[in-house]
């Protein structure tokens, strides 16, 4: 019987400009690590959290990693309890699915520690419940890519319909995170509830174009489709120097650039590793003009999702 497991769950880029709440993809780094340890007492305890600067609660029912574990214990009437160690390896409130990574890591670890043999589709609702704590809304554009890996389309939420999309092997993502706090719940309140028809038509065209570009292995088409006429004009105003950062990415060879999630992270796509590194450097330089702390990552699309680091 496995007594302890340590897992990794990746960060994810969501919305992808034209795919608000419906699209996202996983990246290789950063990500979260979680240790789950069996205990005899019938309790669930968060023993420690690192990398959060003391911001996250250890109250299990209010923690994005804790809630999926509570629900799995309840639904499967599991014996004993567990201790949780959560190691945050990415910035909080980054727009990179930090809360989703914690929720997915917890659900994935429980599935493997207790040999539940649940499929990703069966695990998904548990991870979504954890993510909902942070965002205040049910959406899976970070959770699903983190759990399934790859590039994901959420066609429907009721019932949930997940579509795994093909990804060009030479598609690279450069991510710039700025040390600015953006609250996802508050950010969502500012978004429009109605969209003019002319903007909706543009948006539908880009959404279809992005999907077509993935299937056709056409990175130029993918880049042309990375446009957002609805969300970016609002959220872009909360990211310092955003439009200069975006222009720097295009000048360095990006085919597309936009906001990841609710921000403040910015992602840019390109077709080779060298260009991706140059984009990352130039985005950092553009952000440096305003003296804000940044960190950056370059990655291909992570097609694996969460993984086991060790178990014993």
In this predicted structure, what is the pLDDT of residue 34?
Answer: 98
In this predicted structure, what is the pLDDT of residue 91?
Answer: 86
In this predicted structure, what is the pLDDT of residue 187?
Answer: 74
**Which entry of 184, 207, 275, 294 is annotated as an active-site residue?**
184
In this predicted structure, what is the pLDDT of residue 74?
Answer: 97
Distance CA 99, CA 265 (A): 15
In this predicted structure, what is the pLDDT of residue 131?
Answer: 86
Report mean pLDDT in 10-residue bins for the chain, 312 residues. 95 96 96 97 96 93 96 97 96 91 98 97 95 79 97 95 96 96 76 93 97 98 97 94 97 98 96 98 93 94 97 94
**Which entry of 33, 71, 131, 227 is annotated as an active-site residue?**
131
In this predicted structure, what is the pLDDT of residue 289?
Answer: 85
In this predicted structure, what is the pLDDT of residue 253?
Answer: 98
Cα separation values, 306 from 156, 237, 294, 295, Å: 23, 33, 26, 22
> Is 131 among the catalytic positions?
yes
In this predicted structure, what is the pLDDT of residue 189?
Answer: 81
In this predicted structure, what is the pLDDT of residue 145?
Answer: 98
State the pTM of this model. 0.94
In this predicted structure, what is the pLDDT of residue 181?
Answer: 82
The answer to whether the CB of 106 falls within 8 A of the CB of 36 is yes
In this predicted structure, what is the pLDDT of residue 188?
Answer: 79
Concatenated DSSP letters of 237-306: GGSTTHHHHHHHHHHTT-SEEEE-TTSS-EEEEESSHHHHHHHHHHHHHHHHTTT--EEEEEEEB-SS-S
> Is 184 among the catalytic positions?
yes
Residue-wise burial string across 204-242, b where 16 or more C-beta atoms lie within 10 A, e elsewhere: eebbebbbebbeeeebebbbbbbbbbbbbeebbebbbbb
In this predicted structure, what is the pLDDT of residue 302?
Answer: 97
């Amino acid at each position: 019987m496995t007594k302890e497991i340590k897992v990794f769950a990746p960060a994810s880029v969501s919305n992808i400009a034209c795919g608000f709440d419906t699209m996202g993809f996983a990246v290789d780094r950063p990500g979260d690590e979680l240790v789950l340890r069996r205990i005899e007492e019938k309790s669930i305890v968060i023993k420690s959290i690192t990398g959060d600067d003391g911001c996250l609660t250890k109250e299990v029912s209010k923690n994005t990693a804790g809630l999926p574990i509570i629900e799995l214990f309840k639904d499967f009437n599991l014996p004993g309890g567990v201790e949780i160690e959560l190691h945050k390896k990415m910035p909080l409130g980054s727009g990179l699915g930090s809360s989703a990574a914690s929720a997915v890591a917890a659900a994935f670890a429980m599935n493997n520690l207790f040999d539940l043999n649940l499929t990703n589709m069966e695990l998904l609702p548990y991870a979504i419940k954890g993510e909902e704590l942070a965002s205040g809304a049910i959406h899976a554009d970070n959770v699903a890519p983190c759990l399934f890996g790859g590039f994901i389309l959420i066609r429907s939420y009721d019932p949930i319909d997940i579509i795994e999309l093909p990804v060009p092997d030479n598609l690279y993502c450069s991510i710039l995170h700025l040390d600015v706090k953006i609250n996802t719940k508050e950010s969502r309140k500012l978004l429009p509830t109605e969209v003019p028809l002319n903007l909706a038509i543009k948006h539908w065209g880009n959404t279809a174009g992005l999907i077509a570009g993935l299937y056709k292995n056409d990175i130029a088409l993918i880049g042309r489709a990375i446009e957002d006429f609805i969300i970016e004009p609002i959220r872009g105003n909360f990211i310092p120097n955003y439009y200069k950062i975006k222009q720097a990415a295009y000048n360095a060879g990006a085919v597309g650039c936009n906001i990841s999630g609710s921000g403040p992270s910015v992602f840019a796509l390109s077709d080779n590793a060298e260009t991706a590194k140059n984009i990352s450097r130039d985005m950092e330089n553009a952000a440096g003009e305003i003296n804000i702390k940044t960190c950056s990552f370059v990655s291909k699309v992570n097609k694996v999702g969460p993984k086991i680091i060790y178990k014993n």
